[in-house]
Amino acid sequence: MGNMKLNLKIWRQAGPNDKGQMKDYPVSNVSEDMSFLEMLDVLNDDIVRKGDDPIAFDHDCREGICGSCSLFINGEAHGPGKGITTCQLHMRRFKDGDTIHVEPWRAQAFPVIKDLATNRSAFDRIQAAGGFVSINTSGNLVDGNAVPIPKDHADKAFDAATCIGCGACVATCPNGSAMLFTAAKVSQLSLLPQGKPESKRRALAMVEQMDKEGFGNCSNTGACEIECPKNISLEHIARLNREYLAATVTKE
């Protein structure tokens, strides 16, 4: 059992059309070894014991892989600390007696479902618009490992592929732009030979879908890169811009 006492201020919203408000939740017996989500589990146990409605929040893997957890903590996506997700944030980052504000991602394209849970299916639709390679997997195929790939391209493609689709970039961007996410998903494919044949079509389709979903325009503030738990580089946005421009001028 821990001995930290905290004053939590948490966003409660019954449903997408409810106005929502911050509510106070004092918690005690918090251990510094708990993750932020475990601390919320303890709070929810208390809330349920009192017969009230537990706080809804997204989580799945709880080890920084799935991208589900998504809390704005004290005004920062995924809370204090760089290169970690909310589930990897530990209570030792806070002090006994702290007041902690917990809010959902705020973005037009990520409507609140309930409390701290938002609907991020707009990301799925961007991915489905072009985030794939079309390969006929029957017949005589060249083994993937037999295709030479420059080491720096392979490394950059891998870095881009570490994007977990959490949406912290969108929530942090003052314009609510999804450029860092989209650029990561475009780069991970277009840097590799297997992704090149469809690169123009992919860039056009994914950017078009991004705009349709109501994400804002990128104005190069760089906030997304700072709060991204996977340290996705702005360099990928520059690549997407180049690919998009090239695709636009040579559009059939």
State how far the Cα of 240 lies from the Cα of 163, in Å rounded to an integer: 15
Q: How far is CA 182 from the centre of its chain?
A: 11
Dihedral angle at the C-alpha atoms of 199, 83, 40, 112, nearest 10 degrees? -30
Q: Which of 55, 91, 102, 168 binds ligand SF4 (CB under 6 A)?
A: 168
Question: Which of the listed partners (ligand SF4, ligand FES, none) does 203 bind, with a CB threshold of 5 to 8 Å by partner kind?
Answer: none
114 binding ligand FES? (CB under 6 A): no
Cβ atoms of residues 157 and 110 within 8 Å: no
Query: CB under 6 A: which stretch of 47-55, 67-75, 108-116, 178-186 binds ligand FES?
Result: 67-75
> How, if at all, do strands 99-103 and 4-12 pair?
parallel
Question: Which of the listed partners (ligand FES, ligand SF4, none) does 36 bind, with a CB threshold of 5 to 8 Å by partner kind?
Answer: none
State how far the Cα of 46 lies from the Cα of 43, in Å rounded to an integer: 5
State how far the Cα of 94 lies from the Cα of 252, in Å rounded to an integer: 56
Instruction: Locate 81 and state its tokens.
Output: 């600390």
Query: CB under 6 A: which stretch of 28-36, 125-133, 139-147, 180-188 binds ligand SF4?
Result: 180-188
State how far the Cα of 139 lies from the Cα of 185, in Å rounded to an integer: 28
Q: Which of 181, 207, 239, 244 binds ligand SF4 (CB under 6 A)?
A: 181
21: enclosing H helix or E strand? strand 21-30
State how far the Cα of 110 lies from the Cα of 168, in Å rounded to an integer: 11
163 binding ligand SF4? (CB under 6 A): yes
166 binding ligand SF4? (CB under 6 A): yes
Q: How far is CA 3 from the centre of its chain?
A: 32
CB of 144 to ligand SF4, least distance (A): 24
| Per-residue CA distances from 42 to 25, 92, 111 (Å) | 12, 16, 26
Query: CB under 6 A: which stretch of 20-28, 97-105, 165-173, 206-214 binds ligand SF4?
Result: 165-173
Q: How far is CA 78 from the centre of its chain?
A: 9
Give, as ranges, the residues between 17 and 36 that touch ligand SF4 (CB under 6 A): none
Question: Which of the listed partners (ligand FES, ligand SF4, none) does 69 bind, with a CB threshold of 5 to 8 Å by partner kind?
Answer: ligand FES
165 binding ligand FES? (CB under 6 A): no
Q: Which of 13, 35, 85, 172 binds ligand FES (CB under 6 A)?
A: 85
160 binding ligand SF4? (CB under 6 A): no
167 binding ligand SF4? (CB under 6 A): yes
154 binding ligand FES? (CB under 6 A): no
Q: Which residues form the interface with ligand SF4 (CB under 6 A)?
A: 163-169, 180-181, 184, 228-230, 232
